Amino acid sequence: MDLNSSFVQFSLFSFPFFLLFLLLPLSIHLLLRIKSSPSQVKARNLPPGPRRWPVIGNIPLFIWKNPHVIVSNLARIHGPLMSLRLGTQVIILGSSPDAAKEILKTHDRDLSGRCAPKATPIKESDLKKFSLLWATDCSPKWKSIRVLWKGELFSNKALEAQACLREKKVAEMVEYLGRKEGEVVKIGEVVFAAVYNTLGNLCFSRDLIGLGDEKMARDWKEVFWRFMECATTPLIADFFPVLDGLGLDFQGKKKQAAKCMKKMFGVWQELIRQRRESADDSKKHGDFLDFMLENGFLDIQILFMLLEILPAGAGTLVATIEWAMAELIKNKEAMIKLEEELQTHKIVDSNSIRESHISQLPYLNACVKETLRLHPPIAFLPHSAQSTCEVMSYTVPENSLVFVNLWAIGHDPTVWEDPFSFRPERFLNSNLDYKGQDFELLPFGAGRRMCPGLPFANKKVHLILAVLVGCFDWSLPDNRDPSDLDMNEKYAVPLQKEKSLLLIPHRKS
Ligand code: HEM
């Protein structure tokens, strides 16, 4: 089953827009409040943007599918720094490399806040205490969690120590696919199991999904995706904060998110309990959980961290690999070039690839960059303004949401030649990278909120893609022509293929 998912479900097309009209009497009240509200931004010197309706502002723009495409088209009309108003919420969108640089570098201090959607089933006070992703500001608490992640999970030393584990989980995936030779597989689900088990081993020293247990992989993927989708779908109170506290959740999204969270916490809590009970120095695992327990973290703190490591990590990685495979299947020339590169380096089975080979595979690297340019898993970097500042000669008011539109930058013909085509060659003989220095290519963000999982993701994506292409030939079900492969997107974070990619593996001879 396909489910939208996201860190920031900025999509409104599923939003019961008509409900706003049912609330018309309230609108009048709101209008009066807006007039006198000090946080209401005067139109003075805001970046340009499309015309707004009274009260609801630009909400009607989002009744159509794919908001990332809608706002990217609007940016071509209104410019690289644009403003929208959804209800009383001001939204600033940066849609060019220069605007991204201003937001993420020049004004990083002012614009590195976050605003958790109201559907997130976590109390604001808990988010402040325990969350990295949804920490409202870069507080000392947020900093200490990032330092912990960097040191324990993603430092060079930690990554080196985990290399065997990542390689082992990939080898298991290859073995499983070998058993599925000639059968149709949902590649997203297979990759999900490999990624989730890798992360599960980092945290708990054990697999969280049985290899080959397709139902379990499907169910867990669904729980993660549903959680992310529901927790981030805008509620009315996201646009009319004055309604916060009334618990208006017409679609039941907050309730569903809470249900998914309960399911995840239930399983992880049990693993924590077992570890606490068996805690004894002779049984150390050397994993993240041991570290957390040794350092006196409470269950609730550990659970919140897992919530940001497991769904966030697995979702983005799986989406990237599914898109990369879809592009390679559709673009035969690129697939052949990648196969040739892998054959030259004798990468023909999971034993012949080590992570250390990755830097010697320029075409593989170029394929990953090109995939992330065309299909950034997080289409909008979700920031907020902690204080009012001037950006590109416009005012960005305090408390406005500030999004960098990566999809618009990745598809801008003034930045990229032939931007809608998959052409990995554009990255060969180029120093352009996604480490946060080149503002044309920011799939992991930049600045202080940049993705802390980048070093891990970078290794895992390359490794999985190398074995999928190096060890197998792939065909589409019913002998369909790859050039007809449906590449439609469904807005979510991660940005998804509307139709899951179904493929048939054939062992390379
Ligand atoms: C292809 C894989 C991935 C992509 C493209 C990606 C992308 C991103 C982006 C764009 C952001 C927001 C940056 C900003 O606001 O400026 C982010 C934040 C974050 N990512 Fe990733 N990510 C990936 C993998 C991972 C993994 C594997 C993990 C964890 C295991 C992870 C955990 C996080 C967390 C916790 C944050 C919030 C950081 C903060 O707000 O301080 N991500 N990621």
Q: What is the pLDDT of residues 114-144, one digit of tens each?
A: 998 888 888 888 887 888 998 999 999 899 9
pLDDT score recorded for residue 283: 66
State pLDDT tens for residues 174-186.
Answer: 999 999 999 999 9
| C-beta of 321 in contact with ligand 1 (< 6 A) | no
pLDDT score recorded for residue 129 = 80
Order of strands across the sheet that contains 81-86: 81-86, 89-94, 401-405, 380-384
Contact 386, 371 (CB under 8 A): no
Tally the C-alpha atoms within 13 A of residue 161's C-alpha that lie toward its C-beta: 13
The answer, yes or no, to whether any atom of ligand 1 lies below 6 A from the CB of 444, is yes
Residue 458 lies in a domain: yes
Residue 12, domain member (yes or no): no
pTM of the model: 0.91
Q: Write phi, then psi, for 394 (nearest 5 degrees).
A: -115, 160
pLDDT over 80 (residue 246): no
Q: Which atom of ligand 1 is nearest to the CA of 461?
A: 1
Q: Is 132 in the pocket of ligand 1 (CB under 6 A)?
A: yes
Helix boundaries (H) for 156-240: 156-179, 187-204, 214-232, 236-239
**Bridge partners (DSSP) listed for residue 384:** 113, 401
**Distance from the alpha carbon of residue 282 to the mean position of ligand 1, in angstroms:** 35
CA of 161 to the centre of ligand 1 (A): 21
Find the 52 Cα to ligand 1 centroid distance in Å: 33
The CATH number assigned to the domain holding 464 equals 1.10.630.10
Ligand 1 atom with the shortest distance to the CA of 154: 30
| pLDDT at site 39 | 42
Q: Could you read off the pLDDT of 331-355 as tens digits, one per residue? A: 999 999 999 999 998 887 777 788 8
117 CB near ligand 1 (under 6 Å): no
Is residue 245, in this structure, part of any structural domain at all?
Answer: yes
Q: How many domains does the chain have?
A: 1
Structure token digits, residue 377? 């898993």
Terminal CA-CA length for the chain: 33
84 φ, ψ (degrees, to nearest 5): -130, 160
Residue 310 CA, distance from chain mean position: 12
Which single residue is written with the structure tokens 């120093």? 431
Report the binding-site residues for heme.
Answer: 451
Burial class (CB in 10 A: 0-12, 13-18, 19+), 269: middle
Q: How far is the CA of 454 from the centre of ligand 1 (A)?
A: 7
For ligand 1, is residue 317 a contact (CB within 6 Å)? yes
What pLDDT, on a 0 to 100 scale, did the predictor assign at position 279?
Answer: 66
Dist. CA 373–CA 32, nearest whole Å = 44
The pLDDT, as a whole number, for residue 20 is 47
What are the residues facing 474 on neighbouring strands? 505
pLDDT band at 34 (very low <50, low <70, confident <90, very high): very low
pLDDT at 2 over 90: no
319: Cβ below 6 Å to ligand 1?
Answer: no
Which DSSP helix (H) or strand (E) runs through 262? Answer: helix 253-277
| Within-domain flag for 132 | yes
Q: In angstroms, what is the span from residue 199 Cα to ligand 1's centroid?
A: 14
Q: Is the CB of 403 under 6 A from ligand 1?
A: no
Query: Cα separation of 48 and 39, whole Å?
Result: 19
pLDDT of residue 452: 95
Q: Hey, whose CA ends up nearest to atom 32 of ligand 1?
A: 453
Judge whether 11 lies within some domain: no
Using the mean position of ligand 1's atoms as its centre, give its distance from the Cα of residue 290 in Å: 24
What does the longest C-alpha to C-alpha distance in the chain come to?
A: 73
Is 3 among the domain residues? Answer: no
DSSP 122-143: S-HHHHHHH-STT-SS--HHHH
442 lines ligand 1 (CB under 6 A): no
**89 by DSSP, 3-state: which?**
strand
Question: Is 8 near ligand 1, meaning CB less than 6 Å away?
Answer: no
Q: What residue numbers bound the domain in which 172 lies? A: 18-507
Q: Is 6 inside any structural domain?
A: no
Q: Closest residue (by CA) to atom 38 of ligand 1?
A: 133
The torsion of the CA quartet 49, 55, 56, 58, rounded to 10 degrees, works out to -10
Q: What is the pLDDT of the chain when averaged over all its residues?
A: 88
Q: Where residue 281 falls among pLDDT bands split at 50, 70, 90?
A: low
Cα within 13 Å of Cα(354), Cβ side? 4
- pLDDT above 50: residue 191: yes
Dist CA 430 CA 366 (whole Å): 9
Of the CA atoms within 13 Å of residue 267, those in its CB half-sphere come to 16
User: Taking phi first (over 0 means left), then psi (-120 to 50 degrees means alpha), and beta for anything else, what does residue 4 get?
Assistant: beta
312 touches ligand 1 (CB under 6 Å):
yes
- Tell me what percent of the residues of the chain surpass a pLDDT of 70: 91
Helix segments in 375-453, DSSP class H: 406-410
- Pairing status of strand 89-94 against strand 401-405: parallel
How many beta carbons lie within 10 A of that of residue 488, not counting itself?
A: 10
pLDDT at 225: 87
- pLDDT tens column, 394-410: 999 999 999 999 999 99
pLDDT at 119: 83
Report the binding-site residues.
451
Number of residues that make up the chain: 509
Cα–ligand 1 centroid distance for 445 (angstroms): 8
Work out the average pLDDT over 203-229: 87
Instruction: Output the CA 486–ligand 1 centroid distance in Å.
Output: 27
Neighbours of 254 (CB within 10 A): 20
444-493 per-position pLDDT tens digit: 999 999 999 999 999 999 999 999 999 999 999 999 999 999 999 988 87
> Is 220 a domain residue?
yes
> What is the CA(276)–ligand 1 centre distance, in A?
29
Q: Is the CB of 111 under 6 A from ligand 1?
A: no
Residue 11 pLDDT level (bands cut at 50, 70, 90): very low
Q: Is 315 in the pocket of ligand 1 (CB under 6 A)?
A: no
